[in-house]
Amino acid sequence: MKKLIFTFHFLLFAFFVSAQLIKPFGPTPTRQQMDWHDMEFYLFVHFGPNTFSDLEWGHGTEDPNSFNPTQMDCRQWAKIARDAGAKGIIITAKHHDGFCLWPSKFSTHTVRESKWRDGKGDVLKELSDACEEYGLKFGIYISPWDRNHPKYGTNEYNTVYVKTMREAVKRYGPIFEMWWDGANGEGPNGKKQVYNFKRFEKVIRKIAPKAIVFSDIGPDTRWVGNENGIAGETNWNLLDTAGFKRGAGGPPQDTLNKGNENGKNWIPAECDVSIRPGWFYHSKEDEKVKTGQELMTLYTKSVGRGANFLLNVPPDTRGLIHEKDSAALMAFRQLREEFSRNNLALRKKVKVSDERAGYLPQALSDGVRFSYWAPPDSITNCWVELDLEIPTTFNTIILEEYIELGQRIRSFTVEAWDGTQYREISRGTTIGKKRILQFQTQMTAKIRVNITSSKASPVLSNIGLYNAPVY
């Protein structure tokens, strides 16, 4: 037995010695960013006085008593989110109207001033507790714009905002994401605020070091450039931010949609979209809720293009997620599970154009994201062949780069064996965390993925093959 153990350890040591270690290339994600990438799908919750006034942007003059959900239940929100397969919830703790969903010491326009629960309610506390109970991560949106606060438009307001942010994070954290809207309009005194985002960022790093910070220019995740939930077919996780600001001074929308191929910062895209036409609940939109199929299409154009999917589901005037929204979310969960239930590539034989010591081609079909294959450093064009053994019907391929070592691949093609030669059936540009491509149904025993251009030696972690509904 001792001899066997010694032999095993010797072989393991020899394996690692022989492995040509792959060095990171370009900007790479932090541990917190990788945790965020792995979430893929989570919910946005727009809730506040606008829910009751039927507005999208409140004026800040609304009577706090208008906020009065009759059946408020954050556990219902969290259960539905969990059952839909979402990994977290981000709530509009304070929207542009300035109304705080918690009894903030730094505002007189909060749930404390409302008749809801006799002024003793606290939405953030209830939701934070519900997220913990249902295994979800908790995030907050705190708009810097405040149409109610008397200090808005003065230097003092930046301090008020910092204190408000610190209070919310310390009371209800930990948070996984801080969501900064770039909106900047007039306050009650008719003045606009000059936001001190450098100060805001320094504070959030101190009080929530593991949180991702969202805005047009990150620093951790960026707006995708639209509110349709769609990332660019070319989508780099990289972005140049020098010379740009949040809001009106942000990068062009097409740049936000695609990223920068040689960007200096790892700032991946987050795709935000609402399940309804509006962001807050409006009863007239009850028949306009996106269907499970529509949500699935958005999933393939967000997560399927290497971004994360942030889906807004606004509670109604009862303080509940409406039945129509819940039904659509459950349908979405079912379609998502059916879509990738049967991986036809799992544990199939893999052949590659270029071997690299210590990196087995079979890692590409083992279904494990943390195992990966790469050709030697000098190789930037290569191919991977999957042997399906028998003619197999499929129409979808899912590819994943091991982005911990950087995003490298610029373009690729997918080919099917027709009995005598390979012929192209699809092509794409970037891969990133995940790339979903759908094409005309094929029946073949072999497929080949050609990496036609890469900034450095490509590092692939998974290839999945499916016969799935087309979205």
What confidence tens digit (pLDDT) does each residue in 316-326 have? 999 999 999 99
Q: Tens digit of pLDDT for each residue in 419-436?
A: 999 999 999 999 999 999
For the chain, what is the mean pLDDT? 95
Q: How confident is the model at residue 8 (pLDDT cuts 50, 70, 90)?
A: very low
List, in sequence order, every residue forming a beta bridge with 386; answer none if it has no partner. Answer: 350, 447
Mean pLDDT for 151-180 is 97
Can you give the pLDDT at residue 455?
A: 98
What pLDDT was estimated at residue 230?
Answer: 98
* 3 state DSSP class of 282: coil
Segments making up each domain of the chain, as ranges: 31-339, 349-466
Q: What is the CA radius of gyration of the chain?
A: 24
d(CA 397, CA 230): 19
DSSP 192: B
Give the model's pLDDT for residue 19. Answer: 57
pLDDT digit string, tens, across residues 457-467: 999 999 999 99
* Chain centroid, CA 329 distance in Å: 17
Per-residue pLDDT at 304 exceeds 80:
yes
**Residue 147: is its pLDDT beyond 60?**
yes
Q: Which residues of 211-229 are buried (b: 16+ CB within 10 A; e: fewer)?
A: bbbbbbbbbbbbbbbbeeb
Q: Does domain 349-466 have CATH number 2.102.10.10?
A: no
Does the pLDDT of residue 102 top 50, yes or no?
A: yes
User: What's the pLDDT at 16?
Assistant: 44
Q: Indicate whether 7 pLDDT > 60.
A: no
What band does 381 get if pLDDT is binned at 50, 70 and 90?
Answer: very high
CATH class of 31-339: alpha beta
